[in-house]
Chain A
């Protein structure tokens, strides 16, 4: 609005002199007009200057934003209705085949799980600067495989490990706290059974490939005791909602299902007593309510749960009681999926699904009764904004999207 008016003025003034030159009038009259004109001109110049200044300001801000794409949350609140795709901002490098991404509760830290190299979890700030990295204790790269991860409101980081068949729990800085070894077994619970209560100065670890649990108290000699029986589960996808409820996908051999852990379990101070109620849904297969390598389970604001049913190439939708509702995304046409993997839902109930083989992110509006395909973004390639077997995505409240671009060894940051 404001920048329109002066432009109009400018036009008027510019045309004025030509109109007035028509009758050859007296000199003083001309002078008078000249003076008037000059006054107008000065005003105009001032306005123009102001405009230029404003433009410079906007440009400067935009430039700064491009240089250092910090969020502009206060300035650019996310419009309620967006149905255009986001755009590419920048990439974070120095990562070996990333497969999982998560944000800290305050959104100021990004956690990335690598499937290549050291197979570490790396911590970055919002600008993509490396803060640190962490690993499950007592494992070598061929014995660990962090895949998906999430944080709870207390900032703790829960990382699923495909090779260890466990969920490792760390504090926000990556200090190892405990492992969930099965649906009703934590490492600290198992250790406590052997040594009584666990004092603050003890460390313990367990590696599925070694048959021992390691236990060390202060400066004392390290103790070993036999490993617990392997549990028949294989946690893969993990999502923790605001209340602390945890949704897991379990890809145990030929027993795929979705599991739920209540908030008091994930929000516990420690896990020395770990007996959550069994809450599983689904079996292995292609029918309704069955899954083939489900990779993510995420809830929307209505309480429905969307499961990326990987090898079935579809999204299965469950109601809040984990009853099967319907599935979508199979077949052909807009919004059809190839190999859905990581997924996330933003505050507008838009579901983002990473299609690893489709090499893009497919977006659906799931606020209504039926999911509606909105748009897809990205394509196969090595350039900025192109994907090479992407695997996971996370969004924040400022409209940013972080995407694990596996074979390009980077995290891509997109924004609205």
Chain B
């Protein structure tokens, strides 16, 4: 019976895989064929004694077997947040996602805890600043966000996260680079799947100070053009330099490609894996997660400065 279920599941996975799933270039994630041998890299090779398939007792440890600091099976070292390319100047450049242990050569000051211990996510239905359990009592691992079998989403992000269906397209088609972001407007959907209460798109929501105080956490609007809806730029004293291309003070922030005025997403301010940004003074004590860098890309509130340039 167990075997039957397994076989059916394999058949299903294979069937899905065969229906044009985007595959990581050169990787074992998807792009399988009917005669594929690529399952063995993550599942124990079949033995004569039967289908003892999944060895992913610890999914994250499996991923680190190829993507860890020794990067013995991939050029994507997510422990150190380093792209193990070697040609010319991009040797050792930082990965888009940040790093779980180190980032830009320094130890991380915050990261998504993929050890399997974290079960509650901020703003997961209970309001900003409140952490509530993920669907089904699941714990956070690499496979909470990524589908190791490949998916139609950018960076094999899952199509169902925390019981929410999401679509995240890759935008800059062509050569897949891991050191310059290529996501589009759907990118916030992955974060919103677990932190929905931070997903605020209505104009002016951020100035609802009373609401902020009541629920905690930043309620910065997302999904709008980087310089605001037409006509609002003067009101908030926005700088005129595009934060992605020109930046401010030597810092840039990524935006979702829309063609004209690129938009602000969660990942404009946050890194999905982890960051080594330093929080001192005000920034160290503010927010729901006291004392850490809440995955922010830049030191303190540096991210704000890049757009608002006060």
A contact set with B: CB distance below 8 Å: 97, 99, 115-116, 119, 140-143, 145, 147, 162-163, 165, 208-209, 229-234, 236, 251-254, 284, 292-293, 295, 310-311, 313, 330-334, 336-339, 341, 356-359, 380, 388-389, 391, 406-407
Contacts and interface: CB of A to CB of B under 8 A. Distances in A.
Interface of B: 26-28, 37, 40-48, 55, 57-58, 61-62, 65-66, 68-75, 77, 80, 82, 84-89, 91-92, 99, 101-103, 105-107
B26 A284 contact: yes
Given A332-B46, A357-B44, A339 B65 contact: yes
Given A229-B88, A357-B43, A358-B45, A391 B72 contact: yes
Contacts of A208: 91-92
Given A142-B102, A252-B86, A388-B61, A338 B70 contact: no
Contact of B105 (A147, A209, A234): A209
Contacts of B91: 165, 208, 230
Contacts, number: 146
Contacts of B103: 142
B71 A141 contact: no
Contact of B84 (A253, A313, A337): A253
A338 B44 contact: yes
Contacts of B102: 141-142
Contacts of A233: 86
A338 B41 contact: yes
A339 B41 CA distance: 5
A141 to B, nearest CB: 7
A337 B92 contact: no
28 contacts: A115-B70, A141-B102, A142-B106, A142-B107, A143-B80, A147-B70, A147-B72, A163-B80, A163-B82, A209-B105, A230-B87, A230-B91, A253-B75, A293-B66, A330-B37, A330-B40, A331-B45, A334-B47, A334-B48, A337-B45, A338-B41, A338-B42, A339-B40, A339-B65, A357-B41, A357-B43, A357-B62, A359-B55
A336 B40 contact: yes
A354 B41 CA distance: 13
A99 B45 CA distance: 22
Contacts of A142: 80, 99, 101-103, 105-107
B174 to A, nearest CB: 16
Contact of A407 (B40, B44, B58, B92): B58
B84 A389 contact: no
A359 B47 CA distance: 13
A310 B151 CA distance: 23
A337 B40 contact: yes
Contacts of B75: 251, 253
A163 B42 contact: no
Nearest to B101: A142
B105 A358 contact: no
A339 B63 CA distance: 12
Contact of B87 (A97, A163, A253, A332): A253
Contacts of A339: 40-42, 65, 73
Contacts of A209: 92, 105
B80 A165 contact: no
Contacts of A165: 84, 86, 91-92
Contact of B77 (A97, A119, A162, A336): A162
B193 to A, nearest CB: 29
Contacts of B66: 293, 311
A165 B87 CA distance: 11
Contacts of B28: 311
A333 B48 CA distance: 5
Contacts of B87: 230, 232, 253
A141 B69 CA distance: 10
Nearest to A119: B69
A208 B102 CA distance: 16
Given A232-B87, A313-B40, A145 B74 contact: no
Q: Which of B27, B41, B71 counts the most A-chain CB atoms under 10 A from its CB? A: B41
A251 B40 CA distance: 20
A97 B44 CA distance: 21
A265 B40 CA distance: 38
A154 to B, nearest CB: 27
Considering the complex of A and B, which 5 residue pairs feature the smallest CB-CB distances, nearest first?
Answer: A142-B102, A332-B46, A336-B45, A230-B91, A115-B70
B84 A163 contact: yes
A187 to B, nearest CB: 16
Contact of A145 (B26, B37, B80): B80
B31 to A, nearest CB: 11
Contacts of A116: 69
A380 B40 contact: no
Contacts of B44: 338, 357-359
A252 B37 CA distance: 24
Contact of B45 (A162, A251, A313, A380): A313
Given A116-B69, A341-B72, A232 B40 contact: no
A227 to B, nearest CB: 10
Q: Which of B47, B58, B77 counts the most A-chain CB atoms under 10 A from its CB? A: B47
Contacts of A391: 70, 72
Contacts of A162: 69-72, 77, 84
Contacts of B84: 162-163, 165, 234, 253
